[in-house]
Amino acid sequence: MINYWMRKLIKNISKHKYLIVAVGYTLWLTAVSLTPLDGIELPSFRLADKIVHFFLYFFFVLVWLKALSFFSKHLIYLLIFAVTWGVVIEFLQEFFIPTRSGEFFDVTANTLGALTAAGFYRYYKFRFIK
């Protein structure tokens, strides 16, 4: 009996492994974004922070696209979710995390990363499916 349930559990986990990765990445991104920066050294060149934001949300969208196997008509919902998530995180940083600050340009970098990932997805999906 236990063997049956273990096999069923493993089958379900393997069927949803990308969803597990996407949820894990989202939780990690949220935790990292809301962690106070006391004693953490950041890269010192001018746009380092924005480049990091860009790639974090670039991968955020790609991971969720893979997890949910979105068709292009649903892509807009994922983009709205990603941009909203980025805005909420910046809001929380500004008003609830003493050593962090929310910035408009961070939201812009998040949005550009999400849009770029969506563009890559659409380009490669339609290019290789034909």
Which residue range is the domain that position 111 belongs to?
2-37+47-129
Cβ atoms within 10 Å of 119's Cβ, excluding its own: 12
pLDDT at residue 90 in the model: 95
- Residue 110 in domain: yes
Dihedral, 114, 103, 34, 67 alpha carbons, nearest 10? -10
In the three-class reduction of DSSP (H, G, I as helix; E, B as strand; rest coil), residue 39 is classed as coil
- Residue 75 in domain: yes
- Whether 129 has a pLDDT exceeding 50, the answer reads no
- Which helix (DSSP H) or strand (DSSP E) does residue 129 occupy? helix 104-129
| Contact between residue 114 and residue 80 where contact means Cβ atoms under 8 Å apart | no
Instruction: Give dist(CA 30, CA 63) in Å, integer.
Output: 15
> What is the mean pLDDT of the segment spanning 18-28?
92
In the three-class reduction of DSSP (H, G, I as helix; E, B as strand; rest coil), residue 21 is classed as helix
Instruction: Give dist(CA 113, CA 116) in Å, integer.
Output: 5
pLDDT at residue 44 in the model: 66
- The model's pLDDT over 66-112, given as tens digits with 9 standing for 90+, comes to 888 766 567 889 999 999 999 999 999 999 988 888 899 999 999 99
- Residue 42 in domain: no
How buried is 61 (Cβ within 10 angstroms: 0-12 exposed, 13-18 middle, 19+ buried)?
buried
Answer with the residue of higher pLDDT: 2 or 118: 118
In the three-class reduction of DSSP (H, G, I as helix; E, B as strand; rest coil), residue 101 is classed as coil
Domains contained in the chain, number: 1
- The model's pLDDT over 101-125, given as tens digits with 9 standing for 90+, comes to 889 999 999 999 999 999 998 888 7
- Residue 64 in domain: yes
Q: Which two structure tokens, joined as six digits, stand for 87?
A: 């805005």
